[in-house]
């Protein structure tokens, strides 16, 4: 029943999103669109909506995967250095291969994101004090170190403005021909669904998973590859969406439990709905101007994150 409510709400807000913008376009015009209105709809509004839905679903699902594999409710691509490592990869691509295609940049960002995520997991293995709050703090410190290195290199090569565009999520520049890379994350999400049960078992610990005959390291590596791949695609196409992969899985876990496969659809739908609501707010609050999605998601997400921290005794495990 909750899935049905989420789907209905998502459909209603998706339709509303298509008709929000500076250019005049209303539901009453659908029967007789002018050529200009058709272009606005097909080139801008629908691509923007699709990118919002895919990015919201993708970042929420990989956040859930990271929380399962790390066995910590406050670990996500934002708090584990994954996004910061991907940003360093983008900078490396801009410096070493300035004329590279978007697919080439995604590949380089993916390699850096994967390396950064593996490094964080190695650090996690060496930490004996497995406190719920301490682990994400370590991840944030690691991410800040990588981010500082990125800023330093960007200054040396006079590329602060170029790399700055990846620091803030923004859907205003999404048009036909600039978002299609996001479709690559869909097969990764499908793969995550097929491995969901194994990720859940792996999240119970290496010894427990091995006793059940699960190839623990292989499953963890597959999960981290999915996380790094999707993070790179979303960062390169849309930008950073802070706290999204952290708060949505926690909200779903509160009313659904921790089984990944059972929660996957809920997490994807709620993540898409949350990003869509933030995007609509960003477009209407100071209309006809627009607040970037990175800011609206960051403000609302940080508020929810603080709430989860204050209620950690009830919800964190």
Identify the burial level of 244 via C-beta atoms within 10 angstroms of its C-beta, where 0-12 means exposed, 13-18 middle and 19 or more buried.
buried
Q: Six-digit token pair at 93?
A: 């691509």
Alpha-carbon span 300 to 75, nearest angstrom: 18
Alpha-carbon span 85 to 93, nearest angstrom: 12
Q: Six-digit token pair at 29?
A: 């015009």
* Backbone phi, psi, residue 313, to 5°: -65, -25
- What stretch of H or E contains 56? helix 46-70
* Backbone phi, psi, residue 114, to 5°: -65, -45
Sequence-distant (6+) residues with CB within 8 A of 145 are none
| pLDDT tens-digit profile, the chain (317 residues) | 677 888 888 899 888 888 887 677 666 666 666 777 777 778 888 888 899 999 999 999 998 888 888 877 878 888 888 888 888 888 888 888 888 788 888 888 889 988 988 888 888 777 766 666 777 788 888 888 988 888 888 888 887 776 666 566 777 777 777 778 888 889 998 998 888 888 888 877 777 777 777 787 888 888 888 988 888 888 888 878 888 888 888 888 877 776 677 788 888 999 999 999 998 998 888 877 788 888 888 888 888 878 877 766 554 44
pLDDT at 128: 66
- What stretch of H or E contains 116? helix 102-126
Q: Which position has the token pair 């999605």?
A: 293
CA atoms within 13 A on the CB side of 43: 7
Q: Six-digit token pair at 175?
A: 């048009």
pLDDT at 157: 83
Instruction: Report which of 174, 160, 181, 188 is spatially closest to residue 293, judged by C-alpha positions.
Output: 174
Instruction: Report which of 65, 43, 13, 5 is spatially closest to residue 245, judged by C-alpha positions.
Output: 65
pLDDT at 274: 93
* Cα angle, residue 250 at apex, residues 245 and 267 outer, rounded to 5°: 65
The model's pTM is 0.85
pLDDT at 273: 92
Under a CB-based contact definition with an 8 Å cutoff, are residues 237 and 290 in contact?
A: no
Under a CB-based contact definition with an 8 Å cutoff, are residues 240 and 297 in contact?
A: no
* Backbone phi, psi, residue 235, to 5°: -65, -40
Under a CB-based contact definition with an 8 Å cutoff, are residues 204 and 216 in contact?
A: no
Alpha-carbon span 122 to 210, nearest angstrom: 19
pLDDT at 317: 47
Please tell me the CATH code under which domain 2-12+44-165+180-315 is placed: 1.10.3470.10
Q: Which ranges in 171-259 belong to alpha helices (H)?
A: 185-194, 196-202, 206-211, 216-237, 244-256
Alpha-carbon span 298 to 130, nearest angstrom: 27
């Amino acid at each position: 029943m909750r899935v049905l409510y989420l789907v209905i709400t998502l459909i209603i807000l998706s339709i509303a999103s298509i008709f929000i913008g500076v250019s005049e376009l209303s539901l009453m015009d659908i029967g007789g669109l002018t050529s200009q209105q058709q272009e606005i709809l097909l080139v801008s509004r629908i691509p923007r909506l699709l990118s919002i839905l895919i990015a919201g679903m993708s970042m929420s699902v990989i956040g859930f995967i990271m929380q399962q594999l790390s066995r910590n409710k406050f670990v996500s691509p934002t708090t584990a250095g994954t996004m910061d490592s991907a940003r360093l990869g983008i900078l490396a691509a801009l410096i070493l291969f300035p004329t590279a295609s978007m697919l080439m940049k995604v590949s380089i960002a993916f390699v850096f994101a994967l390396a950064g995520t593996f490094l964080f997991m190695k650090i996690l293995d060496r930490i004996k004090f497995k406190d719920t709050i301490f682990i994400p703090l370590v991840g944030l410190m690691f991410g800040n170190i990588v981010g500082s290195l990125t800023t330093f290199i960007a200054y040396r090569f006079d590329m602060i403005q170029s790399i700055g565009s990846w620091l803030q999520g923004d859907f205003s520049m999404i048009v036909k021909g600039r978002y299609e890379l996001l479709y690559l994350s869909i097969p990764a999400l499908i793969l995550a669904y097929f491995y969901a049960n194994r990720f859940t078992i792996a999240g119970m610990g290496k010894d427990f998973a091995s006793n059940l005959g699960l190839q623990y390291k292989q499953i963890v590596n597959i999960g981290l590859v999915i996380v790094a791949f999707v993070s790179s695609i979303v960062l390169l196409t849309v930008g950073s969406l802070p706290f999204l992969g952290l708060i949505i899985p926690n909200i779903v876990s509160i009313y659904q439990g921790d089984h990944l496969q059972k929660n996957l659809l809920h997490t994807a739908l709620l993540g898409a709905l949350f990003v869509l609501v933030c995007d609509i707010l960003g477009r209407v609050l100071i209309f006809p101007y627009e607040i970037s999605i990175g800011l609206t998601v960051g403000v609302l997400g940080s508020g929810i994150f603080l709430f989860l921290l204050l209620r950690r005794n009830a919800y964190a495990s």
